[in-house]
Structures are given as C-alpha cells and as structure tokens.
A and B are shown apart, each in its own frame.
Chain A
Amino acid sequence: MIQLYNVSKRYSRDSVAVNDLSLKIDKGEFVYVTGASGAGKTTFLRMLYVAERPTRGQILVDGQNITRIRSHHIPYLRRKIGVVFQDFKLLQSRSVYENVAFALEAQGKKRFEVSKKVYQALKEVGLEHRLQRKPQELSGGEQQRIAIARALVVDPLILLADEPSGNLDQGVTLEIMELFKRANARGTTVLLATHDYSLHQRFPRRVITLDEGKLVGDQRPMDPFGPES
C-alpha cells in the first residue's frame, strides 16, 4: 500500500527532517510511527498526503508514484487518505454534522448519500446525538472523535493519525484507539504517529522508529492478534 525508496526531506542544508528512508507498508497493516520530538514522524506522514514533497527518493501510495504528482491530482489522492491531527482541525463555526459532511461534499457526493454516511460515521464514533452541536461545545475527546468520523466517512484506504491522543487523557485515548482498531479491522491501513510508548505496549502492532529522520527500528509483534489486541 505504501512504499518509500531512499526518501529524504531537507528544509535547508543543516535541517534534515527525513533521511534516506526506505520501507514498505502492506495493505491492511496497523503501524505505529514512533520517535522523539523532531524525529521526522510528522514530516513522514505529511509526505504521504503530499503536504510536503520529498527532496530525494520515491514514494508510492496504492501503486501510484506520488513523488512528482501534479497539483490537480493531489485532491484525488487525498480522497483515499483520512488524516487525524492532534489539534483536531475542526471548523469551529460549523456544526458536528457539517464538519463530517464537509469531507463528502468536497468529493461531490449527493445530498442523500452525505446525510446517510455522516449519520453512520457519527454513530460509529458514538456522537450521533450531537449532530447540531458546535465543536467548541464538546470535550477534547469528543472533538477528536468527530475528526476521526470525518476521516473515516470517506472510507479511506489509509488512515494517518499524527499524535491523535496528544491532548487527551488515558481513558479517552483508549476509546480513540478502539476506533482506529475497528477501522483497521475493516481493511483500512492505519499509520499512527505517537511518542506514547504505552500505546504499543497495550495494543501491540508493527512499530517503525525514527531518529533524526532515519529509520532506526522496524519491529513486528510476535502475535498481532494476541489476547491484548
């Protein structure tokens, strides 16, 4: 699903965010991307949805080489990718319904299809009763669930989450992780950037570790479907 060949991203001569990164992530995998702050996790994810372009190397997503993808093709690539951020990135002036519907409307989906799918997505994250609320009226955990609903409502092939639990307490983090696991179980490839080591101890999955932009570890759990998962 995702292949990187000798990918580097330099912002300047002295600032290297990702350094000669090569890896392969299969369809339906659940992968943690870990490392200290500044290790290159966010840049790595941003390159996958072409918010950044690599300085060197090749990136393939779903068989498409996105290294030099033309600007007008980027929206169509992004429709295959759901992205969840630490700061949620919700439209505060819009209702919960509108925030989730936005992703479908952007893809030109018909109105009846939008309302049906939005309701399903919000039900999936347990917020179907908050349709008309504004995000600021909700807790951090609920806001993150809206963001996840927005990412999942388009049935993405890949779900990228950049420190999704960074602003949330332990209880809410576990709820969020359940949502990611359920999406993964439906076949979505999940990449979760985090520096919270307790997460992959609790939910063991493949762990890619970055340090100063370099791949320094790629561990696969012995039994990903073990009792803890």
Chain B
Amino acid sequence: MLEAVRYFFLRALRNMRQWPFLCSAAILTMAVSLATIATFFLIVVNIEQLAARWTQEIQVIAYVQTPPSPQELPELIKKMQQLDGVDQVAYVSPSEAMERFGERLGNDAVLLQGVRSDLLPASFELALHSEFRSQQGIEKIIAQLESLIPVDDLRYGQTWLERFNNFISMLRFVGAFLGGFLLFATLFIVANTIRLTLYARRDELEIMALVGATMRFIKIPFMLEGAIQGFIGGLLSLMFLSLSFSLIISRGLHAFWLTPLDFDLLFLTASQQLVLVLAGVVLGVLGSLSSLRRFVRI
C-alpha cells in the first residue's frame, strides 16, 4: 500500500518535471482564477462590512404627545429596555429637546427666545441590537413599543433604510451572480487547461491502457498531479492576494474614499485562507478527473 502511494506520488512529480510548461500553465491558471474569485469575495465582504457600519447609526425615535411623569419614567424606560432588539433607551424631555434645537441653531438660537420650553414633544431614543437594524426588525420593535405607550410619531430614517435595504439586496444579488459566473468561468478555464495538458499526453494514456493498466492506475497519478498543482496554485493565489492587498487594494481604497476609513479592511481569515488552498486542490482533482474521463478509454 505504502509502496503504491509512494509510486503514484513519484510518478505525479516526475510527470510534472517532464512537462514543466504544461504544469506551469495549469498552476498559473488556477492561481489567477482563485485569486480573482478571492479578490471578488474580499470586495463584497468589505462593502458589507462598511454597510454594517452605516447601520450603527440607526435608532428609533418615538415621540409622545404627553410626557410621562417623573414617577412613571424609570419604569417605562426599564420596560422599553426589556423589549426584544432594544439595546439602550434614552429619554429626551421637551426642555432637553428645545435645548438641542437651540444648539443646532447656533447663533440663530436667539430666535427661540420667548418660545415655551415645552413646545417640542418628549421622545424616547431607542438604540438597537445589530440584528434588528433592518426594516423587519424595526417593525417588530415598533409593534412592541406601541403596546407599551401611545406613540404620536415615529422616526427611524424610513426612506434611507428602505434604500439601504435595496442596496444590500442588490449587492448580494450581484455578488451571488458575479461570484457564480466567476466560479463557472474558473471551472471551465481550469478544466480546459488541464484537458490541454492531458491532450498533449494522450499517447501516454493510450500506451498505459494498452499495457494493461487499470483505470485506477492511470487516473490516480493524474489526479495527484492535479491536487499538487491545485495546492501550489492555491498558495500562489494567496501570496498574490496578500501582496496586492497590502500594496494596492488598501492604499487604493483609502484614496478612493478621500477621507481615511474608520475601520481596517478585512482580509481572508485563517480558515478562509485554508479554504482557498483546499479549493485549489479540489479544483485540480476535479479538473483532472473530468478531462481524464474524456481521454482515457480502455
């Protein structure tokens, strides 16, 4: 068994040495394809991360016609805090609201002189848990809130949230579509490159079948070869990606935003890097297997 493994492994390596050009072509194709897919993945992940930052600002402001009495207030705030999806609750009394308004007016605050301090309505500002920062999440919170206290008006950036949700849905759709397309193109290109390398060696496959080699004996070294090429291709794509990430993407993206971003761009995690290299191995094996099916006739 061990001798067979050793033999197949040595034959795969010898084949690669004997066909350096074909072998390099297959490795480079896989490296470029994997790097393209991983780059695309990184772009989508980082845009999603950026988008998630924007939603941090989302809060629900519930205006009430009659301000709660100082006795009811702590109990009310406590109940609101216990609502599903609510992180923090802040009460803004009519006088605090007026104060804020005055601050916003700046030098024009003098216009407010003589205006009653309880002119503006009292409100509750509800900060939300991240998973509730969506249209559906907010609707759930509002339903709970309305059963707790009569609400006069609600503000949570409805139009913005709607647009944001549409943007995220579109991003996911485009991501899935382009990602799927890229994956398909990668599989096609890799399978065809491997097919070309096998086409150049069809005599070898024919002679193997002729001297009584079983399918297993013919296929295993080629599949191993595909796996080794995929592994090297995966490592190369990872190297290329980390280099280009540090040199081009991060600088380029910061420059694109004009102002420095308040977060670090995400790179592949250790497990994602492992998946990338393993994807190379799987790609190599599947590419070899699909091409062998075409060329090996016993």
Binding site for B on A (CB under 8 A): 49, 71-72, 74-79, 83, 89-91, 93-94, 102-103, 105-108, 110-111, 150, 154
> Least Cβ distance of B176 to chain A in Å?
41
Contact partner of A89 among B3, B18, B19, B206, CB < 8 A?
Answer: B206
8 Å CB interface, B153-184 against A:
none
B211 at the interface (CB under 8 A from A): yes
Contact partner of A78 among B7, B19, B204, B211, CB < 8 A?
Answer: B211
B278 at the interface (CB under 8 A from A): no
Q: Write out the residue numbers on chain A whose beta carbons fall within 8 Å of the beta carbon of B19.
A: 93
Q: Is the beta-carbon distance between A154 and B214 smaller than 8 angstroms?
A: no
Question: Which 10 residue pairs are nearest across A and B when measured between Cβ atoms?
Answer: A106-B213, A79-B212, A78-B212, A103-B211, A75-B214, A75-B212, A93-B18, A106-B211, A74-B298, A71-B298
Q: Write out the residue numbers on chain B whose beta carbons fall within 8 Å of the beta carbon of A111.
A: 3
Bound CA–CA A72/B212 (angstroms):
10
Once A and B bind, how many residue pairs between them come within 8 Å at the CB atom?
Answer: 56
> Least Cβ distance of A62 to chain B in Å?
14
Q: Write out the residue numbers on chain B whose beta carbons fall within 8 Å of the beta carbon of A74.
A: 298
Q: Is the beta-carbon distance between A49 and B210 smaller than 8 angstroms?
A: yes
If over half of B's interface residues share one DSSP class (helix, strand or loop), that class is named, otherwise mixed; here it is: helix
Q: Write out the residue numbers on chain A whose beta carbons fall within 8 Å of the beta carbon of B149.
A: none
Bound CA–CA A76/B215 (angstroms):
11
Q: Write out the residue numbers on chain A whose beta carbons fall within 8 Å of the beta carbon of B213.
A: 75, 106-107
> Least Cβ distance of A18 to chain B in Å?
20
> Least Cβ distance of A90 to chain B in Å?
8
Contact partner of B217 among A83, A108, A154, CB < 8 A?
Answer: A108
Q: Is the beta-carbon distance between B203 and A108 smaller than 8 angstroms?
A: no
Q: Is the beta-carbon distance between B207 and A108 smaller than 8 angstroms?
A: no
Q: Is the beta-carbon distance between B210 and A102 smaller than 8 angstroms?
A: no
> Least Cβ distance of A155 to chain B in Å?
12
B76 at the interface (CB under 8 A from A): no
Q: Is the beta-carbon distance between B211 and A102 smaller than 8 angstroms?
A: yes
Interface flags for B193-212 (1: CB within 8 Å of A; 0: not) read 00000000001101111111
> Least Cβ distance of B255 to chain A in Å?
51
Q: Is the beta-carbon distance between A89 and B212 smaller than 8 angstroms?
A: no
| A91/B203 contact (C-beta < 8 A), A71-B298, A75-B298, A111-B3 known | yes
Q: Is the beta-carbon distance between B212 and A103 smaller than 8 angstroms?
A: yes
Q: Write out the residue numbers on chain A whose beta carbons fall within 8 Å of the beta carbon of B207.
A: 89-91, 102
